[in-house]
């Protein structure tokens, strides 16, 4: 049974600071997704990581994947208020079936 664990589950940070969200998963997979969800809204795809060592960046967010360690990170650089949201990682367990972590609720304060 594939387990996907994110930490921290809650993150409060000040504008301008850096932080990293971690996503660990329990079985082999070579495809990992990061999604953003604003309160009351649906999920928005941020990154798809397809191979070991993959790194993708968009604005102040950078995601990486280490398939050997079964670990993905989402790094936030110089946070701004607009980044406040819940961030989910999801792992493809095979057969294009995604399993989600519990999410990290990020609050960026001025």
In the list 83, 85, 88, 108, the residue contacting other proteins (rule: CB under 8 A) is 88
Among candidates 92, 93, 79, 96, which has minimal Cα distance to 104?
79
Q: Are 4 and 71 in contact (CB under 8 A)?
A: no
- Cβ closer to other proteins: 18 or 45? 45
Is residue 95 near other proteins by the rule CB under 8 A?
A: yes
Asked if residue 37 lies in contact with residue 86, where contact means CB atoms within 8 angstroms, the answer is yes
Please select the residue that binds other proteins; options are 50, 55, 69, 78, rule is CB under 8 A. Answer: 50
The helix/strand/coil state of 86 is: strand
| Binding-site member from 48, 62, 71, 80 for other proteins (CB under 8 A) | 48
Choose the stretch contacting other proteins; rule: CB under 8 A; options: 13-21, 37-45, 55-63, 75-83.
37-45
Q: Is position 55 an interface residue for other proteins (rule: CB under 8 A)?
A: no
Residues that bind other proteins (CB under 8 A): 4, 31, 33, 35, 41-48, 50, 88, 90, 92, 95-103
């Amino acid at each position: 049974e594939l387990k996907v664990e994110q930490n921290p589950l809650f993150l409060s940070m000040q504008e301008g600071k850096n932080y990293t969200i971690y996503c660990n998963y329990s079985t082999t997979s070579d495809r990992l997704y990061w999604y953003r969800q604003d309160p009351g809204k649906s999920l928005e795809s941020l990154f798809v990581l397809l191979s070991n060592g993959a790194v993708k960046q968009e604005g102040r967010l950078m995601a990486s994947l280490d398939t050997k360690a079964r670990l993905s990170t989402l790094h936030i650089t110089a946070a701004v208020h607009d980044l406040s949201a819940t961030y989910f990682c999801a792992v493809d367990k095979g057969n294009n079936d995604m399993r989600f972590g519990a999410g990290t609720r990020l609050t960026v304060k001025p």
